[in-house]
Structure 1
């Protein structure tokens, strides 16, 4: 197959530090177009990657030569742009959360199916080596029955790395739809579903804004989750961890405890009930901290799924299941009741 021609829609931080960089490292692709409503930014990024710059994504999608696009826009535009791109015959890699409602997510999945194109959601935690190893250990029965878990994803907030700082769309409800819970919590719901190998059925949540007085979205969220087999645990998502980023997950099983990304050196520590401890050095997790800027694996996997015509690991259907947990958390917080998670 000839080189894949790629367009990137939205040229903010995630596009600059992840998508564009990682496409440029991949020998199978050529970045031919970029788009941003900020014309100056679009032109600047276009020059950097020798790509045509657009300010209207529909003009970019009209280019018949473009095979696939990354959608790196504010959350409220994920679904409309992805649907337009799929209908224009492009494969789509969409940032998370994939949409702002179940209906939008279903429409994205339908558009991919109708047009015979790949739709992948950028949940990079599935590509982290320690997470893959944990999934393997659980699947093989090495950990025994899973009893509980606790998972956290927190940092100081998007103002530290977003191209627009405190003015960023991340803090504006009409553009972001949800704050830390959608930015970080959705990653963790996807990770937990992947590692545990089962779906969540119920959620109880507190979703608050108490750290960022300039934001009209949540910056702290804590959820209690229950899987279909009765595993219960907690998930915390926060933009209020002002010192060090936390991206840890601990899984408590019958035969062992798995500590993921909870130690500066060992990305996975297995503490067996027998007293034996096994430490794994599997490389650094992706993070916003210095030293975590290694490739996510997302771009390479997306490209590979197109080139080899295989189903991506995080399809639209998978992205929707992770989104449903977040939507359930919002509902629980609003109703002050345990919410059932949509299938």
Structure 2
């Protein structure tokens, strides 16, 4: 049986989630007419790496993998086919470029990078070395997110007109100087957290490959996150080339918090007041007062992190483009940067930057 080997860089919370989830994939069957040992592929994390050896040691013991102190060791390992990157965002570019140059496919956590220049270097490195570049915008694999997009793209409620999403909570804990307190290193919470919601809106309202976001207007500022250098409240309007409008309310100033939204289509509204939690559901309401409810627990999905890694690996094995590409990751970064520019200038910002 063949093995598709993975190497992990960054053994913090998200890195651990990626590694544990990847090892849960088990064996994949290649899409062929005959099933043999040659068409079965075992997915396994071969080795993990972190600058904090206690993290890499603990994770390697928990998942029965090897460990190393230097990610360059992973790139020399012929057993490793792809690198999973779960470091602070400002480190993504150098690891991704080195990995691609070594002939390794790359899966990087969001945000892809904190600058468009870094995103472009990553995309170019993957293209030049004929490897795939995937980005961890995992909400595409969550029950509510994926079902909302499916309903919108089915066309059964007419074309979408507008979409709004809110994701709010309290301030991050963090000392001055920590990477999560510096926009240059984490991208601010609009990248570090809300890359997911930006991508969700863009992914849902783009009805074909030609649709794209053309204009950004944002307002907000820093109110409670005193140790950071970026806005902790953002109201973001996105205008798409197909005439639809997306709106995101993102913030770290809410003690109540919440995560939900809605899509208004020509014939109905698709309402999802609580994306996560016991009461998570989608409510569909038409103009003639008809309503339907889809409970999240009735939407059959794989665990999202496992699903995103499996989709990444299956695309590589099947010689297809990965489902969430560097172009998708770059778009989320570009929109966040445009939002920051809009807040600072008080003007609408046209895309591309």
Q: Same fold (TM over 0.5)?
A: yes
Superposition pairs for residues 246-257 of structure 1, below 5 Å?
246-257=258-269
Contact 2:164–2:246 under 8 Å retained in 1: yes
Across the two proteins, how many residue pairs are aligned to each other? Answer: 329
Contact 1:8–1:35 under 8 Å retained in 2: yes
How far 1:155 moved relative to its partner? 3.2
Question: 2:101 aligns to what?
Answer: 87
What is the rounded CA distance, in whole Å, between the counterparts of 1:209 and 1:154 in structure 2? 14
Superposition pairs for residues 21-36 of structure 1, below 5 Å?
21-27=20-26, 28-36=42-50
The verdict on how the C-alpha distance between 1:308 and 1:250 changes in structure 2, with shifts beyond 3 A counting, is same
Contact 2:171–2:224 under 8 Å retained in 1: no
Q: Does 1:193 align with 2:193?
A: no
Cα deviation, 1:163-185, whole Å, max 9, x if unaligned, reads: x8988522233421x22111222
Cα deviation, 1:3-26, whole Å, max 9, x if unaligned, reads: 21111101111112x202201211
- Aligned pair partner of 2:59 in 45, 51, 59: 45
Cα deviation, 1:146-201, whole Å, max 9, x if unaligned, reads: 22221112333554xxxx8988522233421x221112222111111111123211
Contact 1:185–1:236 under 8 Å retained in 2: no
Contact 1:172–1:217 under 8 Å retained in 2: yes
Question: 1:214 aligns to what?
Answer: 227
How far 1:252 moved relative to its partner? 1.3
What is the rounded CA distance, in whole Å, between the counterparts of 1:337 and 1:308 in structure 2? 45
What is the rounded CA distance, in whole Å, between the counterparts of 2:170 and 2:145 in structure 1? 23
SS across alignment from 2:236: strand
Question: 1:226 aligns to what?
Answer: 239
What is the rounded CA distance, in whole Å, between the counterparts of 2:234 and 2:332 in structure 1? 16
Q: Does 1:19 align with 2:18?
A: yes
Which protein is bigger by CA-based radius of gyration? 2
SS across alignment from 1:30: strand
How far 1:132 moved relative to its partner? 2.6
How far 1:208 moved relative to its partner? 2.3
Cα deviation, 1:73-97, whole Å, max 9, x if unaligned, reads: 1111111111111111111111111
SS across alignment from 2:157: coil
Question: 1:258 aligns to what?
Answer: 270
Contact 1:181–1:220 under 8 Å retained in 2: no
The structure richer in strand per residue is 2
Tell me whether 179-188 or 228-237 shows the greater mean CA deviation. Answer: 228-237
Across the aligned residues of Structure 1 and Structure 2, the Cα RMSD in angstroms comes to 2.4
Question: 1:77 aligns to what?
Answer: 91
Contact 2:11–2:50 under 8 Å retained in 1: yes
Contact 1:328–1:342 under 8 Å retained in 2: no
Moved over 4 A (4+): 164-168
- Aligned pair partner of 1:112 in 110, 117, 126: 126
- Aligned pair partner of 1:241 in 233, 251, 254: 254
Q: Does 1:183 align with 2:192?
A: yes
Contact 1:129–1:282 under 8 Å retained in 2: yes
The verdict on how the C-alpha distance between 1:157 and 1:310 changes in structure 2, with shifts beyond 3 A counting, is farther
Q: Does 1:305 align with 2:319?
A: no
SS across alignment from 1:309: coil
Contact 1:209–1:220 under 8 Å retained in 2: yes
Question: 2:332 aligns to what?
Answer: 322
Contact 1:8–1:33 under 8 Å retained in 2: yes
Question: 2:5 aligns to what?
Answer: 5
Question: 1:134 aligns to what?
Answer: 148
TM-score for both structures, normalised by structure 1:
0.88
Contact 2:139–2:304 under 8 Å retained in 1: no
The unaligned stretches of length 5 or more in structure 2 are 27-41
TM-score for both structures, normalised by structure 2:
0.86
